């Protein structure tokens, strides 16, 4: 394990790197102002000594005397420093504000690179990595809110002032600044070790408990949870649970404090001894006449100014947290940084179906021992409509994510339109695939964006966006918005509006169809119509199959009556394709599909939902 000075240096190196990359201009200006502001106190210390030392001469000889000239010069210096300090402070505040804005963008960009950089999503579903990323995001936001960049500049300014003050003490005794520096550095080191250890535990260990506590607190105060909390009488339990989880996280903090309390005590002793010895010797030399009043004033001020070599308080704490977060984000970036993605090739012609081939595909989730897919083979010719069915947990959604290149198969091969999902250009592969997941996104953005995200090249063409919206049966959505494509789909914004679950599903379908119109040759619908009743789902699937002629279509649904008109149906079981055929062929075979269909048909007939 690296020593504390080395670890601190690494953290601030990572932090400085982000600042410099975020904006060289504003970093240079802010640091320059901090350096100048750090040097000015030394000038006032010396000027004050000159002024006090000249007091006796001014009293006897007046301002026209040599002493008077020195006093006037000192006063002019005081005035100039005051004006300059105000100007530098204003410039530093402006530069720090601009730098912080750039720093926020840079931190968000690095966190986005960790989240979105890898071509696949397995790292986001790895529990330890997900915790580290969430902790980094939380700490990064807190660091900005607490003023991390600004506080780092304050620390730089105060450290420089203390260092220059220590240099002034060399004029008294060569060992005095060394002794003062040693006392304050020991004290600062012990405190810094406490801060860094505490930070490590907060971000790496207590992060999970803290997030759980924050979630429970949100449940307690949330408007959406108010009804159930009261109906089920959960208030006392939730309050107690919140207290237990929060206290669990804080106990670790307290243990760290207890573990480092001895070190902090030693640091305090070192600091008190160094200060006590120097101030005692200064007093002795002044009392015995070996030190003039003016020099005494200078050296005493310089001695007290060295305090910033040790403890600086909140700025040091906030800057330390910002530096620790920067190092953490940098390390995550090295593991999961943004990949260099080759550009996609020329898009295929609209409605050109993509062929799909899977051979011996095996996939196991990191947290499981048993494979979800085990030797699966599947061939889908261009333009065919295929339905995938199976019981919950059979691996249908996993298969879809593999087809979209979101997971990498453990073994076997997957090719779409001739592009190998393991070794080919994933950007080009995904340009040929359009997917609507069951948990599709509901962007709190205008309707134009919610549909145009299917193909950004079509986003600005309302006429072309209207076609997939109509194909998805969502014309009524646009009518509800009075034809305004720029209405935000969220009532949380001025002029915005909420949609029903069924309307959102049609918007999501339109988004995927926009990708089809932009060149995607494989349309995948992974149970996206759960908010629709059975009859509406059947009608929608039949409508989609009729409007996307030539495009390869894969439908996933638990409602077997909805997919029976697909060209072909496969049943996934035990990680493989267990049955393959048309609806009539599978019914005639009397296997798993026939049993599932018959069971659902009886239930639908009893409820009158749909004619099976």
Token pair recorded at residue 481: 């918005």
CA distance 357 to 386: 13
Give residue-wise pLDDT tens across range 108-159. 888 777 777 677 777 677 666 777 777 666 666 665 555 678 888 998 999 9
Q: Are strands 522-526 and 552-556 parallel, antiparallel or unpaired?
A: parallel
Residue-level pLDDT at 414 = 92
Query: Is pTM beyond 0.75 here?
Result: no
Residue-level pLDDT at 199 = 53
Place of tokens 């009075």: 482
Instruction: Mention every residue, 6+ apart, whose C-beta is less than 8 A from residue 12.
Output: 152, 323
Give the closest residue to 191 by CA, choosing from 314, 277, 16, 304.
314
Most confident of 53-67, 186-200, 255-269, 432-446: 432-446
Place of tokens 């994933």: 426
Residue-level pLDDT at 7 = 74
Tell me the Cα Rg of the chain. 35
Question: How many residues in the chain?
Answer: 612
Averaged over 355-367, what is the pLDDT? 89
Give residue-wise pLDDT tens across range 43-62. 999 988 888 888 877 777 77
Instruction: Mention every residue, 6+ apart, whose C-beta is less than 8 A from residue 504.
Output: 440, 442, 489, 531
With cut-offs at 50, 70 and 90, classify the pLDDT of residue 265.
Answer: confident
At residue 451, does pLDDT exceed 70? yes
Residue-level pLDDT at 343 = 47
At residue 612, does pLDDT exceed 70? no
At residue 531, does pLDDT exceed 60? no
Residue-level pLDDT at 605 = 52
Cβ-count burial of 232 within 10 angstroms (0-12 exposed, 13-18 middle, 19+ buried)?
exposed
CA distance 448 to 453: 8
Averaged over 83-112, what is the pLDDT? 88
CA distance 506 to 489: 13
How many CB atoms sit inside 10 A of residue 137's CB?
17
How many CB atoms sit inside 10 A of residue 309's CB?
24
Residue-level pLDDT at 197 = 58
Residue-level pLDDT at 450 = 92
CA distance 253 to 247: 10
Instruction: Identify the structural domains of the chain with CATH numbers, from first to last.
Output: 10-171+312-338 (no CATH), 173-290 (no CATH), 345-432+522-612 (3.40.50.300), 445-518 (no CATH)
Report CA-CA distances (Å) from 366 to 371, 445, 482: 10, 35, 49
Give the closest residue to 187 by CA, choosing from 269, 104, 260, 105.
269
CB 558 within 8 A of CB 582: no
At residue 352, does pLDDT exceed 80? no
Residue-level pLDDT at 606 = 54
With cut-offs at 50, 70 and 90, classify the pLDDT of residue 329.
Answer: confident
At residue 35, does pLDDT exceed 80? yes
DSSP class per residue in 514-550 = HHHHTT--EEEEESTTTTS-HHHHHHHHHHHHHHSTT
Report CA-CA distances (Å) from 422 to 212, 406, 410: 37, 11, 10
Instruction: Mention every residue, 6+ apart, whose C-beta is less than 8 A from residue 486.
Output: 446, 447, 448
Q: What residues form DSSP beta bridges with 419?
A: 416
């Amino acid at each position: 394990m690296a020593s504390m000075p080395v670890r601190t240096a690494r953290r601030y190196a990572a932090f400085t790197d982000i600042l410099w990359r975020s904006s060289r201009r504003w970093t240079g200006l802010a640091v320059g102002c901090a350096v100048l502001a750090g040097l000015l106190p030394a000038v006032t210390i010396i000027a004050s000594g000159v002024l006090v030392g000249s007091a006796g001469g001014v009293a006897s000889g007046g301002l026209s005397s040599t002493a008077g000239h020195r006093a006037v010069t000192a006063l002019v210096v005081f005035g100039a420093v005051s004006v300059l300090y105000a100007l530098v402070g204003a410039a530093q505040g402006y530069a720090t504000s601009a730098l912080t804005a750039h720093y926020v963008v840079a931190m968000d960009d690095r966190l986005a690179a960790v989240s979105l950089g890898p071509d696949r999503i397995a790292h986001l579903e790895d529990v330890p990595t997900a915790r580290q990323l969430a902790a980094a995001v939380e700490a990064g936001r807190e660091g900005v809110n607490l003023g991390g960049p600004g506080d780092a500049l304050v620390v730089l300014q105060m450290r420089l002032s203390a260092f220059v003050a220590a240099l002034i003490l060399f004029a008294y005794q060569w060992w005095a600044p060394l002794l003062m520096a040693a006392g304050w550095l020991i004290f600062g080191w012990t405190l810094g070790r406490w801060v860094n250890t505490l930070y490590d535990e907060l971000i790496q260990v207590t992060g999970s408990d803290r997030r759980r506590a924050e979630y429970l607190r949100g449940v307690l105060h949330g408007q959406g949870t108010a009804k159930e909390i009261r109906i089920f009488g959960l208030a006392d339990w939730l309050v107690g649970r919140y207290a237990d989880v929060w206290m669990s996280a804080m106990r670790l903090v307290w243990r760290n404090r207890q573990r480092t309390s001895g070190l902090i005590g030693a640091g305090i002793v070192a600091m008190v001894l160094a200060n006590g010895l120097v101030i005692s010797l200064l007093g002795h030399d002044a009392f015995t006449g070996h030190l003039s009043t003016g020099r005494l004033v200078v050296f005493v001020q310089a001695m007290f100014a060295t305090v910033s070599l040790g403890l600086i308080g909140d700025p040091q704490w906030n800057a330390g947290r910002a530096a620790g977060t920067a190092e953490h984000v940098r390390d995550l970036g090295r593991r999961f940084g943004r990949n260099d993605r080759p550009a996609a090739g020329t898009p295929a012609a609209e409605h050109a179906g993509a062929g799909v081939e899977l051979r011996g595909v095996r996939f196991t989730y990191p947290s499981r021992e048993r494979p979800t897919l085990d030797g699966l083979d599947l061939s889908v010719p261009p333009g065919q409509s295929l339905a995938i069915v199976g019981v919950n947990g059979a691996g249908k959604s996993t298969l879809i994510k593999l087809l979209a290149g979101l997971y990498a198969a453990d073994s076997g091969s997957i090719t779409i339109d001739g592009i190998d999902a393991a070794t080919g250009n994933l950007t080009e592969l995904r340009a040929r695939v359009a997917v609507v997941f069951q948990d599709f996104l509901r962007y709190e953005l205008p309707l134009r964006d919610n549909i145009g995200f299917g193909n950004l090249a079509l986003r600005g063409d309302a006429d072309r966006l209207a076609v997939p919206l109509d194909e998805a049966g969502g014309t009524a959505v646009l009518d509800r918005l009075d034809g305004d494509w720029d209405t935000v789909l969220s009532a949380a914004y001025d002029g915005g509006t909420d949609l029903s679950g069924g309307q959102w599903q049609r918007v999501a379908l339109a988004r995927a169809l926009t990708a089809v119109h932009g060149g995607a040759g494989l349309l995948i619908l992974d149970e996206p119509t759960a908010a629709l009743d059975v009859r509406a789902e059947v009608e929608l699937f039949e409508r989609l199959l009729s409007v996307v002629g030539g495009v390869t279509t894969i439908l996933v649904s638990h409602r077997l009556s909805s997919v029976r008109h697909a060209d072909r149906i496969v049943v996934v079981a035990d990680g493989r394709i267990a049955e393959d055929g048309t609806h009539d062929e599978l019914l005639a075979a009397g296997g798993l599909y026939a049993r599932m269909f018959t069971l659902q048909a009886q239930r639908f007939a009893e409820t009158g939902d749909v004619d099976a």
